[in-house]
Amino acid sequence: MQIIKDRNIIEDSWQFIADEHPLLPGDCTVTLERWLKEKEQLLRHDGKVGVRIESTDNLEILSGDLALIPLVEVNFVIFSDGRAFSKAWLLKNRYQFTGEIRAVGNFLADQIFYLSRSGFNAFNFEGNQNLTLALSMLNDFSVSYQKPANQF
Amino acid sequence: MYQYNQDDQTLINERVAQFRSQTERFLKGELDADQFRALRLMNGLYIQIHAPMLRVAIPYGLLSSTQLRKLAHIARKYDKGYCHFTTRQNVQYNWPKLEEVPDILAELAEVQMHAIQTSGNCMRNTTSDHLAGICKDEIEDPRPYCEIIRQWTTLHPEFAYLPRKFKIAVSGALHDRAATQFHDIGLHLVKNEQGETGFKVFVGGGLGRTPVIGQVIRPYLEKRHLLSYLEAILRIYNLFGRRDNKYKARIKILVKEEGLEKFKSLVDEEWHHIKDGMELSDERIHEMQAHFVLPHYDNSASIDSTFPNHLESDNAFATWVKHNTVEHKVPGYRAAFVSLKAPDEPPGDITDSQLEVVADLADRFSFGEVRSTHRQNLVFADVKQADLFDLWQQLNKTKMATPNIGTATDIICCPGLDFCSLANAGSIGITREINETLDNLDYLHDLGDIKINISGCMNGCAHQSVGHIGILGVDKKGEEWYQITLGGSSENEAAIGDRLGPSVPKDQIAQAVAAILDVYVKNRIEDESFLDMVKRAGLTPFKKQVYANH
């Protein structure tokens, strides 16, 4: 599966594991709820383990664990739910998260510039998004009135 | 006024290119209707009954003559030869073709204009006092701060998909002419005990279905914290504003449900984290103030005998001066309104040739600038008294000198059923009928300051709930009926009008308004205003008259 990460199109093998299923070999993401419940066990997994955040999740309860997590993915149920933008901003600034912040779910290529300015550095589109086009949209604007999320 | 630098220009050019690509992809079927909807709205483009509607931003109401000529050109080339000024100082085109909208945006960009964030669930155009910089009761010119806010809100990456739209207004004067208490955030420039200027911050005001008067969240905010405080409010709103029901999604509902104290503590905590990283420097403020220096006034403007002579000899001119001009802080100057409320025209509408006349008059008489007002008129801010007679004659020839500013025929009105797909009622037709019943100028002037606001539906685009007389179109089994409220005000003594009684059918609304005015004339004490009389006497005398035959 291809995604955009750090302004490149790359092959990616992270897989999201729903709560009722056991982890699969390789790199996996789990829900925040599962992470909080099974943290010890999950950390013994062979591959890396990341956490999927929903727009309704409270980031603060994850803040103490961020050093243990290489990836946080923020899920869009619908592209118009702007909470994800603030979640990414908070991860990057308030919680100084240095790992990967990945947008997943129902978001648009046309949002990629704003997403990137808010702190996301990886994008896993649903469906058949043309990734070359999406990549080019990271350069829609060469100027901005606001500081990027990592410069506060 | 503010002039774009290279970066400002690059940004709007890039926005045009982005929207052109989005429109092309939509027309090719690569973006679906819902996806394109969110994107086009953030470029001011609605799809309405007859055609798309394009709303163009006029930041805090300031326009140059060059921009006016461009608006005229667009009206002629891409529309039906006219456009419409809104209650938030913007301008709307009702008949553009979807595929031509990118070209219109490119034309606007040539004169430092755009349609960015004039719609959609994002931060909208910042509005202000149309007499900014020239009124006597001003504490400080709000326009530099409006421009600072304009830039901060423009393409803000984190706050483009808010729960609902978000509007900010700034007033720098004692008298609030910008309806700031009915905005999501209202800012008043005020002085503290040390004599320094800062902002009193109101939050959670709004009109529409649930009108609410804004509450003071911070009595005094230092200027350097302006943007960090706004950002803190927006972040809390973006994270916690309701998204389950669009009628409960405005910040006013969040403030109401959480309570002001709880909301304030959330904002303060957020603000505490970011305030040191986002300070506005004095240098930046001064730099912005340099864009709004006052023009070179003629010191001898008041030494002129022609103006008093014309006032003496020409009654019609004197009437126009009395109603359509206001005093200026510089002696010998006045601000002169362009009335877009001619009796037989839809309120706020202006034709391409009228726009060009206004542009020429601005160049001749008002340093090449004009402002749009919250009540859908225009104003020349800096006219020498000696030029007023000439100006009046020119406006008179082009139907822009109806002496009705601030009177009962200076009606705020939404496009209604004629254009809008949400409307229940033909507000423009009702306005025309009211105009017909108020065709006696002496009577109209005797009535004094009366603000009538007419909205065609609950969304309240024409702010009916804060009209002295508010009229709201409702649908009753497919028929147009009208609900009347009295006693609303969007000024300092902000108030939401009280409902008079059951709604009245379409053929009786103009009579009902006439009856209300009649009750006022018969019951006022000396020179008591309409609003004061309603406050004193309550609704009862009006009810008796309006519902006398029911």
pLDDT band at B417; cut points 50, 70, 90 = confident
CA distance B297 to B333: 9
Q: Do B239 and A144 touch (CB under 8 A)?
A: no
Q: Which two tokens stand for residue B120?
A: 């959609």
Q: How far is CA B456 from CA A18, A55, B246, B481, B535, in A?
A: 49, 36, 19, 10, 26
On whether the CB atoms of residues B125 and B270 are closer than 8 A, the answer is no
Domain-embedded: residue B295: no
B363 and B275 fall within a common domain: no
Q: Which two tokens stand for residue A94?
A: 């308030």
B148 and B256 fall within a common domain: yes
Q: Do B238 and A83 touch (CB under 8 A)?
A: yes
Q: Do A145 and B31 touch (CB under 8 A)?
A: no
Average confidence score pLDDT of chain A: 95
B23 CB-near residues (< 8 Å, 6+ apart) = B40, B98, B99, B101, B102
Q: Which residues of B touch A116 (CB under 8 A)?
A: 157
* Average pLDDT, integer, range B476-503: 94
Question: Chain A residues within 8 A (CB-CB) of chain B?
Answer: 79-83, 85-86, 89, 94, 108, 110-111, 113-118, 140-146, 149, 152
* Average pLDDT, integer, range B417-430: 80
| pLDDT tens figures, A88-126 | 999 999 999 999 999 999 999 999 999 999 999 999 999
* Average pLDDT, integer, range B238-265: 97
CA distance B84 to B55: 9
B61 and B172 fall within a common domain: no
Q: Which residues of A touch B11 (CB under 8 A)?
A: 141, 143-145
Rounded to a whole number of angstroms, the distance from the CA of A68 to the nearest CA of chain B is 24
B245 and B139 fall within a common domain: yes
Query: How does DSSP assign B49-95, residue by residue?
Result: SSSEEEEEP-GGGEEEHHHHHHHHHHHHHHSSSEEEE-TTS-EEES-
Query: How does DSSP assign B318-374, residue by residue?
Result: HHHHHHHEEE-SSTTEEEEEE----TTS-TTEEEHHHHHHHHHHHHHHSTTEEEE-T
* Average pLDDT, integer, range B533-547: 96
DSSP 8-state secondary structure symbol assigned to residue B489: B
Rounded to a whole number of angstroms, the distance from the CA of B60 to the nearest CA of chain A is 18
Domain-embedded: residue B298: no
B97 and B147 fall within a common domain: no
Q: Do A85 and B239 touch (CB under 8 A)?
A: no
Q: Which amino acid is at B142?
A: P
Three-state SS at B211: coil
Q: Do A113 and B22 touch (CB under 8 A)?
A: no
B14 and B142 fall within a common domain: no
Nearest neighbour of A140 by CB, restricted to B7, B14, B156: B14
Note the pLDDT of residue B50: 65
Domain-embedded: residue B294: no
Torsion over CA: A26, A29, A34, A40 (sign)? positive
Query: How does DSSP assign A128-144, residue by residue?
Result: ---HHHHHHHTTS-S--
ipTM: 0.97
Q: Which residues of A touch B244 (CB under 8 A)?
A: none
Looking at the predicted structure, is the pLDDT value of residue B220 above 70? Answer: yes
Domain-embedded: residue B154: yes
| pLDDT tens figures, B128-165 | 999 999 999 999 999 999 999 999 999 999 999 999 99
B139 and B283 fall within a common domain: yes
Note the pLDDT of residue B51: 74
Domain of B344, CATH number, reads 3.90.480.20
B267 and B337 fall within a common domain: no
Q: Which of B289, B323, B349 finishes a domain?
A: B289
Nearest neighbour of B156 by CB, restricted to A142, A146, A152: A146
On whether the CB atoms of residues B380 and B391 are closer than 8 A, the answer is yes
| pLDDT tens figures, B159-184 | 999 999 999 999 999 999 999 999 99
Q: Do A82 and B163 touch (CB under 8 A)?
A: yes
B157 and B283 fall within a common domain: yes
Domain of B233, CATH number, reads 3.30.413.10
Number of folded domains that form chain A: 1
Q: Which residues of B touch A143 (CB under 8 A)?
A: 7, 10-11, 14
Alpha-helical runs (H) found in B3-160: 6-27, 33-41, 65-78, 101-110, 143-153
Q: Which two tokens stand for residue A113?
A: 């510039």
B390 and B422 fall within a common domain: no
Closest-CA residue of B relative to A114 is B157
CA distance A1 to A13: 7
Q: Do B38 and A86 touch (CB under 8 A)?
A: no
Q: Which residues of B touch A76 (CB under 8 A)?
A: none
- Going by their DSSP bridges, the two strands B469-476 and B197-203 should be labelled as unpaired
Three-state SS at B203: strand
pLDDT band at B394; cut points 50, 70, 90 = very high
Exposure of B286 by Cβ count < 10 A (0-12 exposed, 13-18 middle, 19+ buried)? exposed
B68 and B187 fall within a common domain: no
Domain-embedded: residue B125: no
Assign residue B548 a region: left if phi > 0, alpha if psi is -120 to 50, beta otherwise? alpha
Q: Do A141 and B15 touch (CB under 8 A)?
A: yes
Domain of A33, CATH number, reads 3.20.20.70
Structure pTM? 0.95
The answer, for B243 touching chain A at a CB cutoff of 8 Å, is yes
**Domain span at A137:** 2-151
Domain-embedded: residue B1: no
Domain-embedded: residue B121: no
Domain-embedded: residue B429: yes
Query: How does DSSP assign B432-453, residue by residue?
Result: HHHHHHT--HHHHHHH-S--EE
Q: Do B160 and A83 touch (CB under 8 A)?
A: no
| pLDDT tens figures, A49-72 | 999 999 999 999 999 999 999 999
Note the pLDDT of residue B548: 86
Number of folded domains that form chain B: 4
Note the pLDDT of residue A151: 56
CA atoms within a 13 Å half-sphere pointing along the CA-CB vector of B27: 12
**Domain span at B369:** 306-397
B319 and B278 fall within a common domain: no
